[in-house]
């Protein structure tokens, strides 16, 4: 009973709303037809809304007459509900997205139509004003030059009307200026002032990417590893001896510190690299590929080369040739000076003679010579393997 009362009230309200809307319609039937130059999307929207209201009204009538519970009314009601759902889908999923996409063009057309109506109204008021002006007889007699002024005013009005028509036609056109970037005028003035100041001064070469000068590969290959080892030792010394900040160290004897079956230990940088690898795998849930045999062989040879001049945790790189460099700097010895052949012969004699050596300098030179020979052989062997 309550459902019937609510449906009756809804039908009464809908009927009164339709009567009120019908009373506001004009008497001319031609105005009910869609305009020939209108937007078809809006016409379709109006037709869909009208069909939706008709089916909704019909469904309300069926619900009011469904007191007997006949099966035929139930089938018709189901068909009406399906039609309402279909119309609602057309409105929500079809018309509304298209209307949002065409909102700019629709606003342009509506603005052009309003501008046309405004021009028509202004034209009518202008014609009425002209009639009033012509009805005054004393205008020409009081002002002899009124003919010229009147003709000029008519020309100006005609020009304004023509301009208004042109503006109305172009109102719906696209605006290419909207696609351009907005440039700050203050920034433009600053750039022009800077360019003028730069043009009046001395020549300034263009700024390019800084590039290091090329150097021999042999010199670079020899200097870079030694420099890296020295910087690594210096960093470890600063972290362990001079820094007072707390630092984390792995347990002695753990798998993360012992390498090469107990013959070596991982440095701090190697531990950091291993930690980064582990964090990356845990964060991205992926297992990084292990090192290949070639990469392991290269890393092993590189580690052996780096450990060659290390003893007791200290770097002794270049210490063997320190005495020769001091002698060349102080005494100025070189191959081009007199006595070079005799000195080399004396050196070979000391190296090949039997018995105890006379001084410690000869021992150091012999050791340095043999060390250089062995290092060259190891480098050549490594290059062949690589």
| 3-class DSSP string for the chain | CHHHHHHHHHHHHHHHHHHHHHHCCCCCHHHHCCCCCCCHHHHHHHHHHHHHHHHHHHHHHHHHCHHHCCHHHHHHHHHHHHHHHHHHHHHHHHHHHHHHHCHHHHHHHHHHHHHHHHHHHHHHHHHHHHHHHHCCCHHHHHCCCHHHHHHHHHHHHHHHHHHHHHHHHHCCCCCHHHHCCCCCHHHHHHHHHHHHHHHHCCCCCCCCCCCCCCCCHHHHHHHHHHHHHHHHHHHHHHHHHHCCCCCCCCCCCCCCCEEHHHCEECCHHHHHHHHHHHHHHHHHCCCCCCCCHHHHHHHHHHHHHHHCCEECCEECCCCCCHHHHHHHHHHCCCCCCCCHHHHHHHHHHHHHCCCCCCCHHHHHHHHHHHHHHHHHHHHHHHHHHC
Inform me whether the pLDDT recorded for 179 exceeds 70: no
Inform me whether the pLDDT recorded for 338 exceeds 70: no
Identify the top-confidence range among 20-34, 55-69, 142-156, 168-182: 55-69
Inform me whether the pLDDT recorded for 282 exceeds 50: yes
Q: Which pLDDT band, with edges at 50, 70 and 90, does 281 fall under? A: very high
Inform me whether the pLDDT recorded for 200 exceeds 50: yes
Inform me whether the pLDDT recorded for 139 exceeds 50: no
Predicted local confidence at residue 380, as pLDDT: 87
Q: Which pLDDT band, with edges at 50, 70 and 90, does 146 fall under? A: very low
Q: Which pLDDT band, with edges at 50, 70 and 90, does 177 fall under? A: low
Predicted local confidence at residue 244, as pLDDT: 80
Please compute the mean of the pLDDT values over residues 63-73 and round it to a whole number: 66
């Amino acid at each position: 009973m309550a459902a019937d009362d609510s449906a009756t009230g809804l039908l009464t309200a809908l009927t009164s709303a339709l009567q009120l809307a019908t009373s506001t319609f004009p008497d001319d039937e031609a105005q009910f037809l869609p305009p020939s130059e209108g937007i078809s999307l809006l016409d379709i929207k109006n037709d869909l809304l009208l069909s939706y209201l008709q089916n909704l009204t019909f469904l309300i009538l069926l619900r009011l007459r469904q007191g007997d519970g006949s099966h035929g009314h139930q089938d018709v009601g189901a068909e009406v509900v399906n039609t309402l759902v279909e119309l609602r889908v057309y409105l929500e999923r079809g018309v509304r997205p298209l209307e949002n996409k065409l909102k700019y063009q629709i606003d342009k057309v509506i603005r052009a139509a309003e501008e046309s109506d405004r021009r028509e109204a202004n034209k009518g008021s202008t014609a009425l004003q002209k009639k009033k002006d012509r009805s005054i007889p004393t205008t020409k007699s009081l002002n002899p030059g009124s003919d010229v002024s009147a003709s000029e005013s008519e020309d100006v009005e005609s020009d304004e009307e023509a301009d208004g028509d042109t503006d109305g036609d172009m109102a719906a056109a696209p605006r290419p200026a909207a696609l351009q970037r907005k440039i700050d005028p203050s920034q433009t003035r600053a750039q022009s002032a800077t360019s003028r100041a730069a043009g009046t001064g001395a020549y300034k070469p263009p700024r390019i990417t800084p590039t290091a000068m090329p150097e021999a590969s042999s010199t670079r290959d020899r200097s870079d590893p030694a420099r890296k080892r020295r910087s690594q030792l210096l960093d470890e010394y600063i972290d362990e001896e001079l820094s007072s900040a707390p630092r984390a160290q792995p347990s002695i004897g753990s798998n993360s510190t012992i390498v090469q079956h107990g013959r070596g230990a991982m440095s701090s940088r190697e531990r950091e690299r291993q930690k980064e690898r582990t964090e990356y795998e845990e964060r991205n849930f992926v297992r990084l590929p292990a090192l290949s045999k070639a990469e392991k062989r290269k890393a092993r040879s590189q580690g052996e080369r780096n450990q060659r001049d290390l003893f007791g945790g200290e770097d002794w790189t270049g210490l063997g040739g320190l005495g020769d460099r001091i002698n060349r700097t102080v005494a100025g010895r070189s191959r081009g000076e007199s006595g070079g052949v005799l000195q080399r012969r004396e050196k070979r004699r000391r190296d090949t003679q039997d018995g105890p050596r006379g001084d410690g300098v000869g021992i150091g030179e012999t050791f340095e010579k043999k060390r250089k020979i062995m290092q060259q052989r190891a480098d050549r062997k490594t290059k062949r393997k690589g």
